[in-house]
Structure 1
Amino acid sequence: MGCKSAPHVPREAARRDYSSGRARCGWLDVSGSDEAGMSENNNVPPHSAAPDRTKLRLLCERLVREAQQKGIAVGELSVMCRGRRRVGAKGGGRAASSPPPSATVPSANTSANTSARWRWLASALVVASAVLALQTQLLERLRLDFVSSKCVVRNNYFVMEATRLRTDCGRVCVGVREAAEFSANVTRAAFEEWAYLSRPLVVRQAAAHWPALERFSLPFFRSVYDSVEGAYEAVSEECQFLPFRSEFVDLRDALAMHPARAARAPGTRPWYFGWSNCSPGVSAIMRQLAPRPPFLPAGSESSALDWIFMGGDGAGAAWHLDYVQRPSWQAQISGTKSWHFRPVPECQDVCQSFNVTVEKGDIIFVDTNQWYHTTFIHEGALSITIGSEYD
């Protein structure tokens, strides 16, 4: 809102317009003012009052701009811009007009209102700053919790699925209807042709001679982790425990289960869990009993991280992709497990699902980053597997 500039008019016409009490400045009302009053308000000679009304409009326009910048309502300015009668004036004469706009002297009420506004604004800023600081602290804590929680980061499949690289369907799964199979005497050269195709492959009885087939059991793992200092802490702080079909909170809790439940006695609750090992002492013991498959490519390096999964019949891991960026091998130390594979969404129109069953002594190779997979444990012996990654 602003004052409109008055067009140039002849002096006599301006006098007629002025004497009629009609001003040309928007909301500015000078009705009842005469030539002398206008000259008094603007400090100009009476004969120059009419044309110099433009000065008043310009001053008001400036006052409006300043008021808008300071947050003062325009309605409050109209009081300062009007000619008012002084109540109780001696002799009932005409009122002295309000101070000229150029002086911008606020009334007591205006000053009080402005002061109140500033106090309110200061209080609001203090409260807003406190709330913002609290929100910042909470968001930072959530961020740190998210990053530091291995379980949240690894199992946040919605985020990982949305951000993973698209699969090359032609290379990975087109034309694949079943897992390829080799016998235990496969040569390194023959295996290397398949090692990085990302297609599921089973080498039958490749681990049949491993000492782990006779040694691995729940009591064995408990004795190893109990004997190696810091082994449980290494899993909790640096690796990962996956409770799957159990209520266990960590590896120590799982390995300490009651012997009757560990033996899957009738009436006891079923269980299945897994973990990755980050204890060098434990790794040294397990690698002596479950060595690196000898036919892996000569130039490849195995991860120092071992994964162990164990449990009774029933569902194993639910449908998922892994996000380890390298292909994996997993040896079936005891029991029988079926793997079910499904292509990723972008390949489902050109690829198909299938499954394969792995028996005691078999080793399965699969790029779990490229195939959705789930597992199922068959009735009979306890299923125990150990595996790792290779590049």
Structure 2
Amino acid sequence: MEAQRKPLVSEEEKKLSVNEKLDLLDREVRLLYEFCKNSGFKPGEIEKAAAPFLNTTKRVSRRRWRKRAIDAGKIATLFAILGFALFYIDPVYRGMCFFARRTTIKMLPYWDWTNLYDQPCLIENPYYEGNQITEEDCMACESMNSIPVEENITHSVMSELYLKGLSPVIVTDAMKDWPERKNMNIGYLTELYTTHEVVKEYMSCDYLSNIRVKFGNHRVLLRKIVAGEVSTYFAHWENCFKEAARVFREVFPRPYFLPPMVEQTDTNFIFISSGFNAKSYKPIDTWSSMLTFAQIKGQNKVKVTPKMPCDKMCEAFEDTLDEGEILVVPYFLWNFSYLPVGGEENIAFGVGGNFD
């Protein structure tokens, strides 16, 4: 008769909690390690003998960390998609802006953050000077009494006299080689925005108009105009997705007078109006070094205003931009705004540029 085998786990051990079992296992492993060491085994030999057990432990640990990393990635992706959706939906974005604005106002009694509002950096770098306008720069506009007008202008004159010279200029013959200009009207724009396989897929940014439309959707406004539902209007918006902006750069090519040193931006602007007699100029902000404002159809009044501290030495200038003319504005020294004028259909196209 075979001898009865002793069970590997006693009844008392089966009744232990998980933590107690782990403590028991830890003690057994430590006792085994001490036994092997006292028996003359070297640490390397002990580790080699325990390799099957250690490898299993490492695999379990790696699997656990891999699962945690995947879960963290899924959560981060979900938050990123949710954040993008919240900022993309105009009512939600406006609500978030309102809440943030209200919160910052309520913080004022406890912390005056207004001193930081106009600062370019949260922490000042004593070695960084940035592009600061000096009184020496203001000499470029001190003797100006109007916006210069040019035609058949060369790259070198545009570069040295106006871009590097920090002077705005109107070029009168800039669109002679723009074949689409003669066909340009609101109907053409509407068709381009609603049927072009690339342009129709993208929304615009910074929509501003006297006609309020849901989500600032410029296509809704264009359809209303074409359908005759709107007759008095002004609007401008930015083609802020480079795929859509690239199509408009094909419709409105690079002006002949821009020197190679100017790299045009990946975004551009559309300006439209009809029958709207504006009382105040509409400012256009861009982070680029310069702006070209091309009057494709009709007229617009334009205004360039010197930035501080040059506003004390130089004048602001206003002019009327006629069809076929382009205004070039170096943004380092000047701010730009436009005034929609009443009467017929007006269409303009703006694009920024950077140069050293």
TM bucket normalised to smaller:
0.5 to 0.7
Q: Aligned pair in 2 of structure 1 residues 229, 290: CA closer, same or farther (>3 Å)?
A: closer
Is 1:352–2:315 an aligned residue pair? Answer: yes
Would you tell me which structure has more strand in proportion to its own residues? 2
Q: Aligned pair in 2 of structure 1 residues 254, 311: CA closer, same or farther (>3 Å)?
A: same
Is 1:363–2:326 an aligned residue pair? Answer: yes
Contact 1:334 1:360 (8 Å CA) reproduced: yes
**1:114-263 counterparts in 2 under 5 A?**
162-163=118-119, 166-172=132-138, 173-183=141-151, 185-193=152-160, 194-229=162-197, 231-236=199-204, 240-248=205-213, 249-259=216-226, 261=228
Structure 2 partner of 1:4: none
Identity %: 20
How far apart, CA to CA, are the structure 2 residues paired with 1:199 and 1:295?
Answer: 15
Q: Aligned pair in 2 of structure 1 residues 187, 336: CA closer, same or farther (>3 Å)?
A: same
Equivalences, count = 235
How far apart, CA to CA, are the structure 2 residues paired with 1:319 and 1:224?
Answer: 25
Contact 1:235 1:276 (8 Å CA) reproduced: no
Is 1:328–2:291 an aligned residue pair? Answer: yes
Helix, strand or coil for the counterpart of 2:157? Answer: helix
User: Which structure ranks higher in relative contact order (CA pairs < 8 Å, sequence separation ≥ 6)?
Assistant: 2
Structure 2 partner of 1:300: 262
Q: Aligned pair in 2 of structure 1 residues 258, 189: CA closer, same or farther (>3 Å)?
A: closer
Is 1:275–2:273 an aligned residue pair? Answer: no
Q: Counterpart of 2:171 in structure 1: which amino acid?
A: V
Structure 2 partner of 1:46: none
Structure 1 partner of 2:73: none
Q: Aligned pair in 2 of structure 1 residues 323, 276: CA closer, same or farther (>3 Å)?
A: closer
Contact 2:305 2:336 (8 Å CA) reproduced: yes
Q: Aligned pair in 2 of structure 1 residues 317, 250: CA closer, same or farther (>3 Å)?
A: farther
Structure 1 runs not aligned, ≥5 long: 1-140, 265-269
How far apart, CA to CA, are the structure 2 residues paired with 1:241 and 1:166?
Answer: 27
Structure 1 partner of 2:248: 286
Contact 1:343 1:370 (8 Å CA) reproduced: yes
Q: Counterpart of 2:342 in structure 1: which amino acid?
A: E
**1:17-56 counterparts in 2 under 5 A?**
none
Contact 1:342 1:354 (8 Å CA) reproduced: yes
Helix, strand or coil for the counterpart of 1:385? Answer: strand
Q: Cα deviations across residues 260-290 of structure 1 (Å, max 9, x unaligned)?
A: 54773xxxxx211112224556445433331
Q: Cα deviations across residues 286-345 of structure 1 (Å, max 9, x unaligned)?
A: 333311012211232211212111112422874546241320111100111111232234
Q: Cα deviations across residues 44-65 of structure 1 (Å, max 9, x unaligned)?
A: xxxxxxxxxxxxxxxxxxxxxx
Helix, strand or coil for the counterpart of 2:142? Answer: coil
Structure 2 partner of 1:388: 351
Q: Aligned pair in 2 of structure 1 residues 192, 209: CA closer, same or farther (>3 Å)?
A: same
Q: Counterpart of 1:337 in structure 2: which amino acid?
A: N
Q: Aligned pair in 2 of structure 1 residues 204, 195: CA closer, same or farther (>3 Å)?
A: same
How far apart, CA to CA, are the structure 1 residues paired with 2:176 and 2:344?
Answer: 16
Q: Cα deviations across residues 48-92 of structure 1 (Å, max 9, x unaligned)?
A: xxxxxxxxxxxxxxxxxxxxxxxxxxxxxxxxxxxxxxxxxxxxx
Q: Which has the larger radius of gyration?
A: 1
Q: Cα deviations across residues 345-377 of structure 1 (Å, max 9, x unaligned)?
A: 432221222212110000100034542333223
How far apart, CA to CA, are the structure 2 residues paired with 1:287 and 1:271?
Answer: 25
How far apart, CA to CA, are the structure 1 residues paired with 2:299 and 2:340?
Answer: 6
TM-score, with length taken from structure 1: 0.52
Structure 2 partner of 1:20: none
Structure 2 runs not aligned, ≥5 long: 1-82, 102-113, 121-130
TM-score, with length taken from structure 2: 0.57
Structure 1 partner of 2:300: 337
- Tell me by how many angstroms 1:178 deviates: 1.5
- Tell me by how many angstroms 1:160 deviates: 10
Helix, strand or coil for the counterpart of 1:380? Answer: coil
